[in-house]
Amino acid sequence: MERQLSEQELFRRQALGELRALGVDPYPAAEVPVSHHAADILSGYAANPEAYAEVCVAGRLMAKRIMGKASFASVQDSTGRIQVYVNRDEICPGDDKALYNDVFKKHLDLGDFVAFYGHVFTTQTGEISVHATRLEVLSKSLRPLPTVKKDADGTVYDAFSDPELRYRQRYVDLVVNEGVRDVFVARTKIFSTMRRIFNEAGYLEVETPILQPIPGGAAARPFVTHHNALDIPLYLRVANELYLKRLIVGGFDGVYEFAKDFRNEGMDRTHNPEFTV
């Protein structure tokens, strides 16, 4: 049965068609020469403003405030968010104002990927922002993001907090919930530190078979598959212990592996069929 499109999805598909009618490619293939990230600008501008006379930032459009021929937007990249000031006559210096009046104001939605070129400045309220002189559409988003609101006191409304949705749509969780990305960064740093410590101690990083003829090393139910060429059953490993021990038997003093193991058993918030050891 075909899924019914929501009103927002229909509007976004209509906007996609309008962009193409205006001659704007909503999915350009060319690489964008991003020069700075949000966190770099916010942390470094005060100490060295001259270094930010020409910048290019790119990311998701997360907020848009239209005020006549001048507007403010918020762009989120992999490091955080930064405010962008957009003036109609600066991004459209000629007589044709369609890029601002139609593309930016009418056909760009929250979640779309955009690039802004310009320079960094400080607004009258003291917020470090990008003063845009050029706008480029990078990717039109056809599905709306959850709109998470936060008031002046920091209270969050309409949060994307349902555990089932958060884990099934991790990509949405990363976009709309602050702090989730930090978990991924911390995990990478932990693995890098562990790898460095093992390497400095003289251990050798190895890879052991994932498909095994005998699922050993733990008392657990395996996932079963079939090797067509050899016409034999194989199993996703439930543990990598036995193959590591074979390497020790072979003469290595110490080995280690960051491995994926699989167990076809119960599942809860602390047990997953696929996990890393």
Is the alpha carbon torsion for 163, 168, 170, 176 positive or negative?
Answer: negative
Give the bridge partners for 86, in sequence order. 71, 132
What is the rounded average pLDDT of the residues 141-147?
90
Decide which of 2.40.50.140, 3.40.50.300, 3.40.50.1370, 2.170.130.10 is the CATH code for 7-145.
2.40.50.140
What is the rounded average pLDDT of the residues 191-204?
97
**150 pLDDT tier (thresholds 50, 70, 90):** confident
According to the model, what pLDDT value does residue 266 have? 85
**1 pLDDT tier (thresholds 50, 70, 90):** low
**25 pLDDT tier (thresholds 50, 70, 90):** very high
Alpha-carbon span 169 to 181, nearest angstrom: 14
What is the rounded average pLDDT of the residues 144-149?
83
What is the rounded average pLDDT of the residues 242-255?
95
Backbone angles phi and psi of 230, in degrees to 5? -95, -10
Q: Is the pLDDT of residue 163 over 90?
A: no
Domain residue spans in the chain? 7-145, 180-276
pLDDT 10s digits, 53-110: 999 999 999 999 999 899 999 999 999 999 999 999 999 999 999 999 999 999 999 9
Q: Which residue has the higher pLDDT, 217 or 109?
A: 109
Domain at 180-276, CATH homologous superfamily:
Bira Bifunctional Protein; Domain 2 (3.30.930.10)
The percentage of the chain sitting over the pLDDT mark of 70, rounded to a whole number, equals 99
**115 pLDDT tier (thresholds 50, 70, 90):** very high
The percentage of the chain sitting over the pLDDT mark of 90, rounded to a whole number, equals 81
What is the rounded average pLDDT of the residues 186-215?
96
What is the rounded average pLDDT of the residues 155-172?
84
Alpha-carbon span 237 to 239, nearest angstrom: 5
Average pLDDT, the chain: 93
According to the model, what pLDDT value does residue 69 have? 92
According to the model, what pLDDT value does residue 162 have? 87
**136 pLDDT tier (thresholds 50, 70, 90):** very high
Q: Which residues of 210-236 are buried (b: 16+ CB within 10 A; e: fewer)?
A: eebeebebeeeebeeeeeeeeeeebbb
Q: Is the pLDDT of residue 2 over 90?
A: no
What is the rounded average pLDDT of the residues 151-158?
72
CA distances (Å), origin 53, targets 44, 82, 120: 13, 16, 6
Q: Which residue has the higher pLDDT, 217 or 221?
A: 221
